[in-house]
């Protein structure tokens, strides 16, 4: 029996790609092992979004160079593979497979070549209009399933590697997305997360011609599906119809992740984000004026070249106005091939760190206040696991807040929807108790 090990870095798109790759391998007669030491084939599905992410895979590969990699076949998949191409073989000579995400549908053939002893197998073609679909996907979570609806990116943000590592945008047909959603519901999944680098740029390539808001609304009508999430939305393609769809159907989670990157027009322009601060705020106003309360989260980059103190303050000001439920914040990291490399006035690392600290502290206070407002409220949680260390069940609310709670119910709650009263709030999570009286305690 041939064995494989796969470690995944990066975003949810990568996580889901790994589920598809694993499925394809199992279908080829491989079985998965937990430790790289035990595997014949060791795969790293890599991320290149920031330099730190890229370095991780090379330090992993380095560990094996010193000794215990003998007889194993090493493969680098994903965004570093696409970005570095054959250079990976120079940087890590024990690697035999380098394959970007646009070539995964060719993996079965590549495996055959590896098994035949070929030590330089590559899949680096980006000029494909294919999406990676396989009937063999092995999903890690039995209750929540990812569905990739659009791959690649047609934007050209000045700092970003994704257009180079994942190629041009390709949408799946609405029929294949709907069929997958229905199949998932039949096999017991209750939560679906629609994925794309810019999920709302979705354009149905079939004659049906659905836009993203239509697809979202239809997935929300699939019998058996209780929650639909989607990530990541791009402000440029964000339309009010998305908010209307969420308003019209409780099964569409009341959460929108809408990366701002900066609150300064000058920076947004140099980033080539294709929207102004006002455009962005208009999108958030649609969300804020919805009938349902919709949680908003975002991504921010600090220290982009030329970012002045005034630009940075404009971002802090946006945080005050938007009142994000949470945010991911990053120091700008210069990336290969990107236009931002040519911009003047780089911000020193130390100053980037200072700005990141200020931003995160401000956001922490906002989150603590927003979360504290929820003390005493009832929230619905999809239970993911039991934390033996704390004696609490862990799950997420529709707004995607983490809620840790205790329950007097004796049996396992994993996979069920439970009503929980919030008793305490921290900046990053809530604590509560399940509501146990009949009628209010809902378990499915
Ligand atoms: N397509 C999404 C985001 C994809 S990448 C969008 O356009 O919003 C996820 C996040 O990584 C980005 O939102 C951005 O905040 C961050 N990021 C991307 N490139 C970066 C870089 N070179 N340095 C620092 N952060 C970066
Ligand atoms: Fe990168 Fe911009 Fe595309 Fe997002 S929209 S993936 S930040 S290039
Ligand atoms: Fe990273 Fe590639 Fe995703 S660069 S964030 S794994 S698209």
Spell out the long-range contacts of 410-415 with Cβ–Cβ below 8 A and sequence spacing 24 or more.
Answer: 412/386, 413/383, 413/386, 413/443, 414/143, 414/383, 414/384, 414/385, 414/386, 415/142, 415/143, 415/190, 415/382, 415/383
Residues 18, 58: Cα–Cα separation, whole Å: 19
Res 444: pLDDT: 47
Give the ligand at the shortest distance from the Cα of 15.
Answer: 3
Average model confidence (pLDDT) for the chain?
95
| Adjacent-strand bridge partners of 405 | 393, 432
Percent of the chain surpassing pLDDT 70 = 97
What is the DSSP annotation of 374-393? TTT-EEEEEEEEEETTTTEE
Q: Tell me, using a 6 A CB cutoff, whether residue 198 lines ligand 1.
A: yes
| Cα–Cα distance, 403 to 397 (Å, whole number) | 7
Structure tokens at 153: 């990116």
pLDDT digits (tens, 9 = 90+) for 382-394: 999 999 999 999 9
pLDDT in tens, 264-302: 999 999 999 999 999 999 999 999 999 999 999 999 999
pLDDT score of 439 more than 50 = no
Could you tell me if the CB of 160 is within 6 A of ligand 3?
no
Once rounded to an integer, what is the mean pLDDT over residues 14-42?
96
Ligand approaching nearest to the C-alpha of 8 = 3
Mean pLDDT of 49-74: 87
- Among candidate residues 260, 374, 275, the one with its CA nearest the CA of residue 317: 260
CATH numeric code, 2-123 = 3.40.50.12160
Distance from C-alpha of 82 to C-alpha of 62, rounded to nearest angstrom: 20
CATH 2.40.50.140 fits 378-434, yes or no: yes
313: Cβ contacts below 8 Å, ≥ 6 apart = none
pLDDT at residue number 61: 93
Q: Which of 37, 36, 112, 122 is nearest to 77 (CA)?
A: 122
Pocket test for ligand 1, best of 51, 259, 280 (most atoms within 8 A of CB): 259
Q: What phi and psi, each to the nearest 5 degrees, are found at residue 371?
A: -65, -40
How many Cα atoms are found within 13 Å in the side-chain-facing hemisphere of 233?
27
Tokens of 142: 């039995």
Residues with Cβ within 8 Å of residue 325, at least 6 apart in sequence:
255, 295, 296, 297, 367, 370, 399, 400, 401
* Topology alike, domains 2-123 and 144-372: no
Tell me, in angstroms, the distance from the centre of ligand 1 to residue 161's CA.
Answer: 9
Average pLDDT of span 55-66: 88
> The tokens of 26 are what?
């199992």
Judged against a pLDDT cut of 80, whether residue 20 lies above it is answered with yes
Residues 198 and 238: beta-carbon distance below 8 Å: no
Rounded Cα distance between 28 and 22, Å, is 10
Question: In CATH terms, is domain 144-372 a member of 3.40.630.10?
Answer: no
- Ligand 2 site, residue 153, Cβ cutoff 6 A: yes
pLDDT in tens, 113-154: 999 999 999 999 998 888 999 999 999 999 999 999 999 999
SS3 117: coil
Determine the distance separating the centroid of ligand 3 and the alpha carbon of 69, expressed in angstroms. 27
The rounded distance, in Å, linking the Cα atoms of 46 and 367 is 31
- 79 within ligand 3 shell (Cβ under 6 A): yes
- Report how far residue 247's alpha carbon sits from residue 249's, in angstroms, rounded to the nearest whole number: 6
Query: What is the predicted pLDDT for the residue at 70?
Result: 74
pTM for the full model?
A: 0.96
Q: Which residue among 330, 338, 359 is best mutated to probe the pocket of ligand 1, counting the most ligand atoms within 8 A of its Cβ? A: 330
Nearest to 75 by CA among 89, 54, 59, 55: 89
Q: pLDDT at residue 53 above 80?
A: yes
Sequence spans of domains, the chain: 2-123, 144-372, 378-434
For the cut 90, the answer to whether the pLDDT of residue 191 exceeds it is yes
DSSP secondary structure of 234-254: -GGG--HHHHHHHHH-TTB-S
Instruction: Assess contact for 329 and 315: CB atoms under 8 A.
Output: no
- Cα separation, 150 vs 196, in Å, equals 5
């Amino acid at each position: 029996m041939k064995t494989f090990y796969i470690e995944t870095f990066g975003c949810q798109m990568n996580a889901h790609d790994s589920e598809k790759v694993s499925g394809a391998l199992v279908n080829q007669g491989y079985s998965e092992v937990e430790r790289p030491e035990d595997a014949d084939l060791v795969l790293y599905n890599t991320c290149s979004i920031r330099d730190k992410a890229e370095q991780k895979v090379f330090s992993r590969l380095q560990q094996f160079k010193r000794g215990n990699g003998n007889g194993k076949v090493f493969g680098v998949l994903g965004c570093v593979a696409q970005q570095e191409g054959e250079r990976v073989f120079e940087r890590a000579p024990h690697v035999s497979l380098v394959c970007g995400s646009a070539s995964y549908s060719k993996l079965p053939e590549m495996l055959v070549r590896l098994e035949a002893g070929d030590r330089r197998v590559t899949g680096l073609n980006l000029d494909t209009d294919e999406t990676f679909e396989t009937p063999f996907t092995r999903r890690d979570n039995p209750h929540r399933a990812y569905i990739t609806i659009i791959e690649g990116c047609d934007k050209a943000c000045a700092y970003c590697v994704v257009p180079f590592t994942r190629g041009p945008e390709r949408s799946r047909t609405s029929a294949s997305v709907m069929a997958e959603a229905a199949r998932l519901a039949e096999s017991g999944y209750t939560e679906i997360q629609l994925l794309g680098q810019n999920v709302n740029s979705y354009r149905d390539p079939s004659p049906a011609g659905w836009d993203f808001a239509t697809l979202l609304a239809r997935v929300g009508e699939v019998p058996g599906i209780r929650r639909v999430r989607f990530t990541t939305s791009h402000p440029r393609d964000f339309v009010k119809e998305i908010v209307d769809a969420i308003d019209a159907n409780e099964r569409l989670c009341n959460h929108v992740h809408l990366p701002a990157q900066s609150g300064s027009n000058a920076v947004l322009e140099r980033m080539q984000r294709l929207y102004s601060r006002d455009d962005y705020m208009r999108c958030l106003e649609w969300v804020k004026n919805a009938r349902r309360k919709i949680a908003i989260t975002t991504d921010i980059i600090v220290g982009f070249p030329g970012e002045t103190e005034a630009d940075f303050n404009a971002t802090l000001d946006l945080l005050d106005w938007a009142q994000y439920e949470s945010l991911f914040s990053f120091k700008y990291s210069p990336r290969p091939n990107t236009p931002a490399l040519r911009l003047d006035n780089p911000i020193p690392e130390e100053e980037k760190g200072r700005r990141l600290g200020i931003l995160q502290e401000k956001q922490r206070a906002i989150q603590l206040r927003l979360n504290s407002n929820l003390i005493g409220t009832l929230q619905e949680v999809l239970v993911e696991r039991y934390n033996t260390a704390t004696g609490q069940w862990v799950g997420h609310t529709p707004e995607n807040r983490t809620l840790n709670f205790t329950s007097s119910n004796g049996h396992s709650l994993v996979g069920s929807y439970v009503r929980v009263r919030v008793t305490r709030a921290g900046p990053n999570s809530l604590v509560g108790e399940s509501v146990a009286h009949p009628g209010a305690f809902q378990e499915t």
